[in-house]
A and B are shown apart, each in its own frame.
Chain A
Amino acid sequence: MRYFGRSTIIHTLAILAVTGVVFTLSIYMSQAQAGSVQDPYTDLSGFLLQGPSGNGASSNGAGQSSMVGQVGQSNQASVNMTGTSNSTLQLQIGVGNTSSLDISGTNNTLETNQIGNHNNASISVVGQGNTIAESQIGNNLSIGFQQVGNGKSVTIQQVGQGK
C-alpha cells in the first residue's frame, strides 16, 4: 500500500510535468505564430528573461580584444577602448538593448550587432585607420555615430520593416 502510494504520486507528478511542458510549448508556439503574422520581425520580448545589465570591456593598450554577448531585454553593453590595433565585438539579441562604444586610437576594429526591436547603438570613434561596422535588425532602431579622424571603413546596416 505504501509502495503503491509512492508510485502513484511519482506517476502523477510525471504526467503533470509532461502535460505542463507540452502545454507551455503549445502556448509559446501559438504566441510565436501569432507574432509572426503581425510582424515579420517577431517581438521576442515575451520570450526573453530580463537580462542583467552588462558591461563589456575596457582596454588600454595594443592588440587586445574584447567580446560582449547578451541575450535578453533592456541590456546595456559598453566598451571603452584606447590604444592601437584593438578589436571589440558586441552582439545583443533582444529588445530595448543599448550598445555603447567609445574608441580612441588607431587601427582599431569594432563591430556591434543587434537583433531585435527598439535597440540603440551609440558609437564614438577618435583616431585614424579604424574599422567600424554596425548592424541592426528589427524595428524602431537608432544609431548615433560620431567619428573624428580618417577611418578605414564605416558600414552601417539597418534591416527592418515599420509597423
Chain B
Amino acid sequence: MAVVDQSPPPIVCTLAQDSIGGGVRLRGRVVSQQDAHGEYRLKVKKTGPSGSTNLNQKGAFSALANTETYVGSTNISLEQGAQYEVQFAIEVNGKTYQCAAPSGART
C-alpha cells in the first residue's frame, strides 16, 4: 500500500492582489514552515490603451516560521482595458520556487 505524503509543503508562495483606487497593489507572499532566507523576483508586465510598463524587482527576504511575509510591494494603475501579467518566484537554499501569480485586467 502506497503511503501518500500529506504533510504541507515546506514553503508556500503566492501573489497577493489588492484593489486600490484605479489600480492594484501587488505583493509576494511567503509562508514557510521554518525560518527561511532567500531572494525574491517579481516581474510585472502591464499593457493598456495608454501604454506599457515593464517592472522587475528582486531583493532579499527573511521569513519567520509560519508567518506571512510580504515582499516586493508595487502599486500599478490600471486604466480601462488594461491588463497585466505577473511572474513571482523565490529562491531559498538554492532551490527556486515558481509562485502562483494569476494575471489580472480591468474591463
Residues of chain A having any CB pair with chain B under 8 Å: 128, 136, 138-151, 153-162
**Known contacts being A146-B56, A147-B56, A147-B57, is A138 close to B50, with CB within 8 Å?**
yes
Inter-chain residue pair count (beta carbon < 8 A): 88
Max chain B CB contacts within 10 Å: which of A136, A149, A157?
A157
Q: Which residues of B contact A156 (CB under 8 A)?
A: 46, 53, 55, 74-77
Main secondary structure of the interface of A (DSSP, over half): strand
Question: Does the CB pair B50–A147 fall under 8 Å?
Answer: no
Residues of chain B having any CB pair with chain A under 8 Å: 23, 46, 48-61, 71-77, 79, 81-82
Q: Which residues of A contact B79 (CB under 8 A)?
A: 158-161
In the bound assembly, the distance between CA atoms of A148 and B55 in angstroms comes to 11
A125 (CB) vs chain B CBs: closest residue? B57
In the bound assembly, the distance between CA atoms of A133 and B33 in angstroms comes to 35
B26 (CB) vs chain A CBs: closest residue? A154
Q: Which residues of A contact B23 (CB under 8 A)?
A: 157
Question: Does the CB pair A141–B73 fall under 8 Å?
Answer: no
Query: How many Å from the CB of B25 to the closest CB on chain A?
Result: 9
In the bound assembly, the distance between CA atoms of A146 and B53 in angstroms comes to 11
Question: Does the CB pair B61–A150 fall under 8 Å?
Answer: yes
